[in-house]
Structure 1
Amino acid sequence: MVTVLWDWGDGSTSNGNVVSKTYSSIGTFNVSVNISNAISFKHNWTVFCVEQTISGVALNLLDGVEVNVPTGIQLTMITGSNYTCTYSFAYQDGSADTLTRTEADGPLLTYTFRLAGAIQVQCICSNTINSVTFSKTVTAVERISGAGLSPPGAMKGKTFNIVLAWATGSDVSVTLTYDGVPQPMTIEQAQRRAVGPSMIESLTGTHYVVYEIWNSLSSSGPVNVAFGIEVKITSPDIVCTFPDVIKYIDLDVPVIRLSDTIQCDITMTDGTSVNIFMDHGDGTNRTEINTPGIPWSANVITLPLIYAFISTGLHNVRVKVYNNFNFYEETYPVWVMMDVNSVAMVPSVSIKEFLPPADVDFYFTGVGSIAPNDVTCSVEWGDNNHDVIYPCDLTTIYSHRYFDKDGMYTTFFRTSIHSCGK
């Protein structure tokens, strides 16, 4: 008589040649069978992987998502175990991203949509029993930023279009009025702009534009802009001079003292709403702004423009004349110096013990809150030694070592200090 004993690995057993087993839980089970009779015995075993059929797969993904912002995608599933899910994101330009996650990774995936437009999202979840696919088309939208009129005005007597441009943004809608009259705007999403109809104005002056730009993520609200009808700058000339030049370096770089000035005169034959920008090269700048729409001949800017330097060094003064349609600029290099007339070099002590040798520190007096710049120090130490120091930092302590056969050192020393084109 043959006896067949099944051990199902979950604590239950069965007898018989043909048996069935229903597992009540998922998992991996070691299944063994023992076959025996009065004279022999046979044992065998295998591993059963008990899984749950996958069903009800879905992604809680909104119809609209934001570009370049991490988006949480939650996987839901009615039943399923020991599964692997492959996510694919197919873009309109033909590119695609693919990500694979297992059950152990959890149901939440964080993904950043990288291009605006319609994106086909697909999730395929599989185990050894079955496979289920979920698909959804979402629209990725880019948030609007950097919106403004480009340019913010037009030339008198010339045909123009009002153009509203933006730096970032997709699926954009626009409304715009010109002096209260609604304008039909052609939206060019790929170029990130909206273009109004052709117009022309025969007089200079200011007109008023009100626009609103929005998409599903953001809205500008009504924006009021002054739109100037201008005349371009014609025959501009910028002349800057330094009234108190000490000398010139390399023939064309003037040298002036700190607090000396630069004076700039600007002329032109035509132009409206003219701006003058001066970058003094010493960390300061200023803008002289003419009244919008006012011609240069009636400018309210006092000339020449005068500026006194507040720091030393080699400065590049940049003067720019511009309006909405053209510009002209000149650059003037200048060495701004602080003189050394009041500076003296003195020892830190009047008497120094000779051990030997004698190391003596020297420092500078009369330096002031702004130290002279580009300084060369020529030092006679009084012991037949001579040093030339460049650059000579007048805020630094300098040391000299004295040697003398009778254990003394001479206290006389002489320095000469000069700067700028030494």
Structure 2
Amino acid sequence: MSNVAGFTDLRKVYDPNSIIVELYFGQSLQPIRCIAVTYDSDTYVTSDPSSCQNYDTCELLDLERANVDTTTDFSDFSRMISTGDTITGSYVNSILGIRLNDTIRTFNATFAVASSSDVPICVLGLGPKNGESTGVQIENGIVSPTYKSLPILLKSAGLIKSTSYSLFVADNSGSLAFGTVDHTKFEGSLQLVPIVDVSVDGELLEHIKAPLEIQVVLLGISLESNGTLYPVLQMESPALLAIGMQATYLPQKFLDELVGFYGLLYHDDLGGYLAPCDLPGSLVFNISGVPLTTALKDYLTETPLTFSDQQKACFLQLPPTGNIDYCALGNSLAMSNYIAVDLDALMIGVAPLKTQPDDGPSQIQSIPEAFRKAVPAPVLPANTYNKSDLVAIPLPRAKKTYTLNNGGKLQISSFYTIVCLITYMFIII
């Protein structure tokens, strides 16, 4: 059994390169489309009608219709996202359902309802249990109080063998499968990459026995262009697996080299860089010795702007990070690579997606069994980990810098709102 949870035309809702699943809330099983994310551990949904004011697509939880029990033993829920928007509400104990292989499975679950929100949002958090916002105490290495997330509920019900899932994004559609991998979706064998326990608070690391987030060790970033591989950044740094986030955050040192190599243009109004929409080349991430390739075209979002040479200008989803050496690998990673996560084993299995669809039957295997036969990464760090300094290797510089037609003026109310909210709205602080 494949336990496939979502296979949706992603251009219709949220970011066109996200995995959308339909969850069912409350006694009435009200259906709401939600974005599946690996960088958050909580599941939450908006009930505030005012959050829909600036959005054409808006689905809200109707507490009365859904008959949601609003009592809970947990604290209030809150989020602030990097646009400055706030999400506040409370945790509830109620029915949560998900469709698996045409059958709606329901559970007595805990999730959060945002009664005050600036954005209409529903998130299915797939992160570690210790990362839940309810966790405010640490005793004997255990974070408490926490609740059972959807993957944990599926395991507790005997539907999957471990707290695990696999996902990918391809051809404007995405798939999330709990507990299994499908060998017809990727090339070769899975390679195992460890999830590491990283915290800016050294004392916190000493007291927590499991990660708060899904982070991996990034050893370097290279640029592939015209058949030449250019090592650009040598490092030993944690990187957040941030599937569900359109933007990818990389150290500014790398971005500066990339911009100089291609002659990309910074746009003040957009707060980021513009590139030709047919930008060639690929980024290669060295994760624990495993190279993962992503095409630069997968980091581009169309704009109404054009360059002076009449090429269409696209917005580069690699935002400037300034002095913060922060790494978060967003949706573009899953557009080229199959990713399986086992939160019990604290391992991630990765492999390149097949370039041509396999017309044969699915080849489904449980994730624990698939991981036993997978290839371990060449570099296996300890579970606890501290970052090292970054070393940048200069790239050749472009002979020209792109310029825009007509001064590149933009109607902020249209494109800026779309791009910046899609890019940044799911960065949870």
Normalized against structure 2, the TM-score is what? 0.22
Q: TM-score, normalised by structure 1?
A: 0.22
Higher relative contact order (CA 8 A, sep 6+): 2
Bigger share in helix: 2
Larger strand fraction of residues: 1
Give the structure with higher Rg (CA). 1
